[in-house]
Chain A
Amino acid sequence: MYTKAVGPACCFMLTLIGAPVASAGEGGYFITYSHQMEEPDNLEISLITTTSQPDSGHRFLNTLTEFEYGLKGWWTTEVYLNGQTTGSESTLFTGYRWENRFRLLPREHWINPVLYVEWEHINGADKSLLEVVGFDAIGDLLNPNSEARREKEREVEAKLILSSNVKGWNISENFVAEKNISHAPFEFGYAMGVSRPLALEASPKPCSFCRENFRAGIEFYGGLGTHEHFGFQPGTSHYVAPTLAWQLPNGVTLQISPGFGVTRSSDGFLLRVAASYEIPQFARSLRRMLR
């Protein structure tokens, strides 16, 4: 059993080490999606952390491990593994997400639509705040892990992603609809983002700190209630979050985003940090290693 597991694991590690460089990161956002798809056969591995100390709650650190793979030029699939640690409580695995994004138009237009479909199997202790929908509020972050983990959330989520690239700027809007398959109503949310590289021209010399390697932006996201009470309702949370992404020449992308809650129902301050690495031509490299 042990030997069987070690072989593929070694091949995977060798694939990582021997892989050429490709650039990771999509628009520099944490929550908002743009229409940039993963390149075919590229695998991007990301570690995304979210930390906060809600008022009258314990500090937590939520960790997501993301595997994003380009199946086709128009189809990207991702798996997230979620876990969190809450101070004075516990560390636990909170579930997984499997998402797929389909680019609907083959060519570039002023507005480029992408359809997003996700299956979530998580528990109530998940604190990733990857999407804010319905009446999600700070109270969801205050339940002790021992209780929250008992609440099972099996949800289907759909997003309509609209995105444009204009003169170096990316402008993206996401409309979110989520349904717990057991008993809850449809819940809605939104995310919007604007970002731009700090320089539009690339410099001729290889460099880590060139301005073109940095991308700055801002995103807004929040809940839009349910189908019965739709809109900017009292009791929904909304956030504004500046973002900064730094793409290193070795294929690593680092991102940081302080997020600020703008309503009473929101968490006051969130800090998100991520590191990504993209392995180009992953399946092909793996096959070569296994031969």
Chain B
Amino acid sequence: MQLLLFLAALLAASPHARTPVSKAPVRTASLQNPYDSQDTAIRAGAKLFQRHCASCHGQDAAGRNQAPALASTEVRNAPPGALFWVLRNGSLRHGMPSFSHLPEQQRWQIVTYLKTL
């Protein structure tokens, strides 16, 4: 029992476990980005990023105040489906709103841009 508690505490304390990306269910994380590496999607995603994300994460995606940097190794290495999942669900406790009001296509365009940072 103590070992289980220790493992749970260790998992909770690990920085990876705390990020919203790591909470994406496996099924969603494995989704393929229909716009992967497409130039028009990257440019559209950059435009959407400036409109919806830059006010918190900074225009250069370097992070600001409590909003983490998105130009980071974690985002670059994250499965596109996991980023898509975070955009859909947000992380309300951490102040990240849900962007489910954006059509799926636009969320994928943002993911396409994020992967280029």
Footprint of B on A, CB under 8 Å? 20-23, 26-27, 34, 36-37, 39-40, 42, 70, 72-74, 103, 106-108, 165, 167-168, 170, 197, 200-206, 212, 249, 280-281, 284
Contacts and interface: CB of A to CB of B under 8 A. Distances in A.
Interface residues on B, range: 20 to 34
A71 to B, nearest CB: 11
Q: Is the interface of A mostly helix, strand, loop or mixed?
A: loop
Contact of B104 (A26, A70, A167, A284): A167
B106 A73 contact: no
A148 B41 CA distance: 56
B29 to A, nearest CB: 15
A246 B40 CA distance: 23
A73 B44 contact: no
B106 A34 contact: no
A73 B47 contact: no
Interface in B26-40: 39-40
Contact of A197 (B56, B59, B103, B109): B103
The 7 closest A-B pairs by CB, nearest first: A280-B55, A73-B92, A204-B43, A168-B103, A200-B103, A202-B44, A201-B105
Contacts of B55: 20-22, 39, 42, 280-281
Contacts of A284: 65
A20 B101 contact: no
Interface of B: 39-41, 43-45, 47-48, 50-52, 54-56, 59, 65, 88-98, 100-101, 103-106, 109
A37 B104 contact: no
22 contacts: A20-B59, A21-B50, A23-B52, A26-B101, A34-B101, A39-B56, A70-B97, A72-B95, A73-B93, A73-B94, A108-B98, A165-B101, A167-B104, A197-B103, A201-B106, A202-B47, A202-B105, A202-B106, A204-B43, A204-B44, A205-B47, A206-B47
Contact of A106 (B41, B92, B100): B92
A201 B56 CA distance: 23
Contacts of A108: 88-90, 98, 100
Given A201-B109, A204-B40, 15 more contacts: A20-B59, A22-B55, A39-B56, A73-B90, A73-B93, A73-B97, A106-B93, A107-B89, A167-B104, A170-B101, A200-B103, A200-B104, A206-B47, A249-B51, A281-B65
B49 to A, nearest CB: 10
Contacts of A23: 51-52
Contacts of A167: 103-104
A37 B91 CA distance: 13
